[in-house]
Amino acid sequence: MSERLLAVGEAPHTVGDMRGAVPQARGAVHDGRAAGAEADLGAGSQEAAALLDRTREAVEPELRRAVDSLPGTMRRVVAYHFGWEYADGRPASGQSGKAIRPGLVLAAARALGGSPTAAVKGAAAVELVHNFTLLHDDVIDRDSTRRHRPTAWTVFGDADAILAGDALQALALRVLADDQHPAAGRAAAWVASCVMELCEGQHVDTALEERSCDQVTLDECLGVAEAKTGALLGCACALGALYAGAGFDEVEAMDAFGREAGLAFQLIDDVIGIWGDPARTGKPVGADLLAGKKSLPVVAALTSGTAAGEELAELYPRLGPADVGKAADAIDRAGGRDWAQAQAADRMAKAVAQLSRAVPDPEAAGGLLALAEFVTRRSF
């Protein structure tokens, strides 16, 4: 196992120099409709997939040990949410997630000269926090499906899902408190600050949902995306740097890298939320539109000043199933889809610039670059 852990974050092939990585990401993101399927087969995606496989192998035992320590009711809800059990407690073989955030922790540790093995508890803590947010988000958004199965709140009820999420947040901090690594204390403080930012981002997001469409700006939505998605990816990269013994400037640069990559991730996730294939997303077609979410492509279209944007405003946010196709077409014609993909490419370019501050050697940064490109090259 130790040899496998040491390999996490090591790119079997370099992505190329950092300047070359930006146009590659830009082309794939900007034309995501055509590039997605090709990207799945590309060397970069295969590299990232292999890295994520190694991450799951390294981190899942730590996750299971932590979850097994929860009180019975909480453990049952969390084990179901992770895909390890069915609702009646029978063992299941579901995958607990893509492992992107713990993958970033381990890849960042290696990129800065540290040992991924030593950072496994930090990676597990980040994944526990991520799943705390998923449990709560599903309740708040009333999402009924996640990872191709009913969400925890639909099975166990709102209260149990919320409390299980609370338990995961506390569990993440306990995992770090029990870690003997000298960076664990700073890592716990960084995670706590991140959780506060996540909660504030969710508060603002909920407030925006209460406003009419003409009272929401793109800048506000981008701010929410940074707080809800970028902050945790930034935290993951920062924790990897902390466990590698990096200095303050390097840790800050890694946090900035993760935040920019996180914004790119959210932009593409919002596109997939409208045009994604349910067989891949595990959610019904146009789920975000039916939920009336003010996602980034939607707000870009609504604020575009175009005729298509006005058409969308007449439909949104009270859509029926028959209106989903019309709304998606209006967003596309208003430029919301192209704007989101171009913005994702721009954020990726900024992410690479931040990464080069902390890790000037492109070969050392290969695993991080592969992961960052992977999250913006997902197929629809």
CA distance 156 to 81: 10
Amino acid at residue number 124: A
- The pLDDT tens digits for 35-79 are 333 333 356 688 899 999 999 999 999 999 999 999 999 999 999
Q: Which residues, including other chains, have CB under 8 Å from residue 315's CB and lie 6 or more apart?
A: 323, 326, 327, 330
Residue 155 has pLDDT above 70, yes or no: yes
Query: What confidence score (pLDDT) does residue 374 get?
Result: 87
Query: pTM for the whole thing?
Result: 0.87
Q: Which residues, including other chains, have CB under 8 Å from residue 149's CB and lie 6 or more apart?
A: 83, 94, 282
CA distance 222 to 109: 28
Compare 103 and 379 and report the one with higher pLDDT. Answer: 103
Query: What confidence score (pLDDT) does residue 21 get?
Result: 43
Amino acid at residue number 120: V
CA distance 8 to 1: 11
- The pLDDT tens digits for 81-97 are 999 999 999 999 877 78
- The pLDDT tens digits for 24-42 are 433 333 333 333 333 333 5
Cβ atoms of 18 and 356 within 8 Å: the answer is yes
Query: What confidence score (pLDDT) does residue 353 get?
Result: 96
Query: What confidence score (pLDDT) does residue 191 get?
Result: 98
- The pLDDT tens digits for 311-365 are 999 998 888 889 999 999 999 999 999 999 999 999 999 999 999 999 999 999 9
The region, left, alpha or beta by phi > 0 then psi within -120 to 50, assigned to residue 298 is alpha
Kind of pairing between the strands at 149-150 and 145-146: antiparallel
CA distance 192 to 199: 11
Residue 379 has pLDDT above 70, yes or no: no
**Count of other CB atoms within 10 angstroms of residue 226:** 20
Provide the Cα torsion 195, 198, 200, 204; round to 10°.
-170
Query: What confidence score (pLDDT) does residue 376 get?
Result: 77
**For the chain, what is the mean pLDDT?**
87
Query: What confidence score (pLDDT) does residue 380 get?
Result: 53
Cβ atoms of 275 and 284 within 8 Å: the answer is no
CA distance 342 to 337: 9
6 exposure class (CB count in 10 Å sphere: 0-12, 13-18, 19+):
middle
Q: Comparing C-alpha atoms, which of 141, 142, 139, 146 is closest to residue 164?
A: 139
Q: Which structural domains are found in the chain, ordered by start? A: 29-374 (1.10.600.10)
Q: Which residues, including other chains, have CB under 8 Å from residue 189's CB and lie 6 or more apart?
A: none
Amino acid at residue number 233: L
CA distance 152 to 134: 10
